[in-house]
Structure 1
């Protein structure tokens, strides 16, 4: 833990800040709520707002703490989790089963006080909560700044890739998706009922639009498509 600072989002004016446990699964939220009660940390269960729906500001105040439980299982979940963190009127700690890496960086860059593994011990969770409530920085400011910059770099890279993917025709996208799944040109031609030369033509055109010189590089981009679309949605354009 690093140096103590004033609370990041306001000082409590109504007694002890409220801890809210927000989870998609009510039973999970209730389990965490009970565990916190057992450590003299009273908490309330809070319904997660739907995508695009704001938090209930009449319930969640700036000096409160929201414990957001989210597996972040896929690009759509990441987009929603980032939105919830960014729009949360209170301080926010995220507990997730997602592996460390892009998801954690994305959530920290959205304003989370901390991102923790869902496997964290109760002792460590309580310690983190108490530090956040006290106004402590639980993530080194330089590390936080580094993660924000890393997310900006990822976003820029994915937006560029999304732009390239949007140039693909539906047929080129289909063919390259099949290539990324390990199908050979001959297998694709047989499956689509077209000539082998046609498939190779689609592969070459797709490579050129993606700005890569090999099938392997094109396949690598297509395998990242779900992550790319979670950050920068792709709208495929041209005709087949």
Structure 2
């Protein structure tokens, strides 16, 4: 593949880990690609800002980190970038295969673990440049199946949480904040026995055996009191 041809392939790196992004930029530049790093705003800005800046660069391929610090989850960028005809390659430290499947469902071309991602990223960009597939049908099916299983589990947990009464939701919210039964009873001006009964009901409805497990289940699906 000629250097001139690669120079026409613009690669944009969206990653708030500067050293990692610089390593990618250097490696891709040495291979002759037109590669840029998206400078994330130090103050202000939002995910919409990043999306606008990325589309303005008109890249052919985007190497996207999922953890964009204060800007949030990079998954929110996949669909709009893919819809614009951009090859989105996700680089992530997350080992949640269901989340990888979610990225593919949104239009990513491939998901790579950040551990050892440099050579894999280079190989993936080369294949995209050549118009070659970067993931086998079996790999894609495995990831999408993992996403579907996670979605079903998420929905099941949400259904359990929906069984809680308004008061039980308040108590669970307090547990998530790290408050003890005694503290909750003092805040609510009720006896500790009453709060313990409420906690027991929460555990039964969530089908868990401890307060820690209940809090973990709520975190697992991003549950918030009143939402």
Q: What is the deviation of 1:58?
A: 4.2
CA distance in structure 1 between the aligned counterparts of 2:213 and 2:68, rounded to whole angstroms: 23
Unmatched segments (≥5 aa) in structure 1: 1-14
Alpha carbons 2:12, 2:61 under 8 Å: kept: yes
Q: What is the deviation of 1:129?
A: 1.3
Q: Is residue 236 of structure 1 aligned with residue 226 of structure 2? A: yes
Residue by residue over 1:21-80, the C-alpha shift from the partner in whole angstroms, topping out at 9 and shown as x without a partner, is: 12235565344212211232331223468324544534325xx11111344679x94xx3
Report which of the two has the higher share of helix: 2
Q: Is residue 189 of structure 1 aligned with residue 179 of structure 2? A: no
**Residue in 2 that maps onto 1:215:** 209
Alpha carbons 1:20, 1:65 under 8 Å: kept: yes
For 1:31-46, what aligned pairs fall within 5 Å after superposition? 31-46=23-38
Alpha-carbon spacing, 1:220–1:73, altered in 2? closer, same or farther (3 Å): farther
**Other structure's SS at 2:8 match:** coil
CA distance in structure 1 between the aligned counterparts of 2:150 and 2:88, rounded to whole angstroms: 23
Q: What is the deviation of 1:180?
A: 8.0
**Residue in 2 that maps onto 1:85:** 78
**Other structure's SS at 1:168 match:** coil
Q: Is residue 68 of structure 1 aligned with residue 60 of structure 2? A: no
Alpha carbons 1:22, 1:69 under 8 Å: kept: yes
TM-score computed with the length of structure 1 as normaliser: 0.68
Alpha-carbon spacing, 1:124–1:40, altered in 2? closer, same or farther (3 Å): same
RMSD of aligned Cα (Å): 3.6
**Residue in 1 that maps onto 2:3:** none
Q: Which has the higher contact order (CA 8 A, sep 6+)?
A: 1
Alpha-carbon spacing, 1:91–1:121, altered in 2? closer, same or farther (3 Å): closer
Q: Is residue 225 of structure 1 aligned with residue 224 of structure 2? A: no
Residue by residue over 1:159-203, the C-alpha shift from the partner in whole angstroms, topping out at 9 and shown as x without a partner, is: 3322432443565245446778999xxx62366334342123202
Alpha-carbon spacing, 1:23–1:118, altered in 2? closer, same or farther (3 Å): same
Q: What is the deviation of 1:106?
A: 2.5
Q: What is the deviation of 1:157?
A: 2.5
Unmatched segments (≥5 aa) in structure 2: 1-6
Alpha-carbon spacing, 1:26–1:199, altered in 2? closer, same or farther (3 Å): same
Q: Is residue 146 of structure 1 aligned with residue 136 of structure 2? A: no
Runs of 4+ in structure 1 deviating by more than 6 angstroms, as ranges, are 177-183
